[in-house]
Amino acid sequence: MPAKEVLDFYGLKGPIGYIRYAFRFLRNFAFDKMAFFCPIKSWRTALHRWKGIKIGKGVYIGHEVIFDRIFPDQIEIGDHTSIGDRSIITAHANIPSATPLRELYPRTIKKTIIGNGVWIMPNVTLIPGVKIGDESVIATGSVVTKDVPPRTLAGGVPAKVLKKL
């Protein structure tokens, strides 16, 4: 995503805004890499918080979880939620290369919200703007493209509600 669009989103202007964002991006990049390789779960969670992700109490974040690197502050995770290894949680989508597809798929930035007591199994992908309801379970390998109601099991590609809990 071009820096100008990110700066506009955050209301940053001019060279000072660009420098502030550059430092924030580099800081978040460093925290992201440290969290990715960190073997201690409480440190992983702290590093992701420092990137700007809103993370509740008692949250478990598995190994090699990838959170949106440009807009981490657009991701919220409720209390006592568990996120499995190698999951991907995004808050923006864009096509970085110059292609006519950009007109069909414009850049989007949307809050991604994970409720309280949610269990996201390993290798799950959440696209920008989805909301996972409290105490829901997302099955291994699912791609969540729509909101998941509270207290349900969802799974598949794309994920759909499999049963009420």
Given a cut of 70, whether residue 67 has pLDDT beyond it is yes
Which residue in 48, 63, 80, 92 is the catalytic one? 92
- pLDDT class of 10 with cuts at 50, 70, 90: confident
CA distances from 42 to 8, 28, 30, 48 (A): 34, 18, 17, 10
Q: CA 1: distance to chain centroid?
A: 16
**pTM of the shown model:** 0.92
* Residues of the chain above pLDDT 70, percent: 99
CATH code at position 158: 2.160.10.10
Range of the domain at 30: 3-164
Mean pLDDT computed over every residue of the chain: 94
Does 92 participate in catalysis according to the annotation? yes
Number of folded domains in the chain? 1
pLDDT at 1 > cutoff 60: no
